[in-house]
Every structure is written in C-alpha cells, then in structure tokens.
Amino acid sequence: MYSRIKRLVKRKLIERFTIVVNDAELGYNVKALTGINMDTKQRDHIIEELFKIDGVREVAEVTGRFDILVTMYAKSLDQMHKMVSEKIGRIEGIQSSESFIEMKSRAKAMPYKSLKDSD
C-alpha cells in the first residue's frame, strides 16, 4: 500500500494529505457565498483585503456575472451580516456584491477513474 501511495504522490495525482474539520461543531453554523464585482485594476489589493477578514475561507476568480466568489463562514447571521456590510462593503475597489446564505448542502465524491487501469 505504501509503495502505491508513494507512486501516486510522485505522479502528482495526490498533492497532499489533509483532514476535514467539522465547522458546525466549532460553532461556524452559517456559510455564505458572496459574488463580488470589482475594479479589476485593484484585483490584488481586494483579494489581499478579503483574506484579512476572519471567516473568509476561499476566494475564486470566476466567469459569469461576478468577478470573484468568496466562501465565508460565521457563527451567526448577525456575524455574517457584519462581515458583509462592515468589512467587505468597505474594501476600496469593490463595486457591488450579492451574498447567498447556504441553507442546506449535499455533496458526492468525485467519480475518479480507477487508478488500477493506469498503474
């Protein structure tokens, strides 16, 4: 087993090993995605400022009606409201934002091709 894992790491099919933390058990019961439109000349500044906000987990540059999508976690709706209105809303270069509170989520594992076929 160890040699197989070592081969997968060497081939860069496995990048890292990690754990999954249960955010709800830590009190982070509110998750939101916020779509942001921005002055693209200030992209680096805006992304840097977003990552300074406690609760911001991921920033993704996307296509579509938003320039970036921000994944955020908070302990309450009030805390999420403060993050969006008092922190994100005050970053210079952000033109508009729209937040989506996650109500319920379901996920499935990626249907990776059997690695046995390519070993």
> DSSP letters along 65-106, please?
S-SEEEEEEESSHHHHHHIIIIIGGGSTTEEEEEEEE-----
CA atoms within 13 A on the CB side of 25: 3
Instruction: Note the pLDDT of residue 85.
Output: 93
User: What are 62-116's pLDDT values in tens digits?
Assistant: 999 999 999 999 999 999 999 999 999 999 999 999 999 999 989 888 887 655 5
3-state secondary structure of 4: helix
Residue 15 pLDDT greater than 90, yes or no: no
pLDDT 10s digits, 18-69? 888 888 888 899 999 999 999 999 999 999 999 999 999 999 999 999 999 9
Position 113 scores a pLDDT of 66
CA dihedral 105, 107, 16, 9 (to 10 degrees): -170
pLDDT for the residue 12:
86
Residue 14 has what pLDDT?
86
Domain 24-101 carries which CATH code?
3.30.70.920
Non-local CB neighbours of 102 within 8 Å, separated by 6+ positions: 30, 31, 32, 33
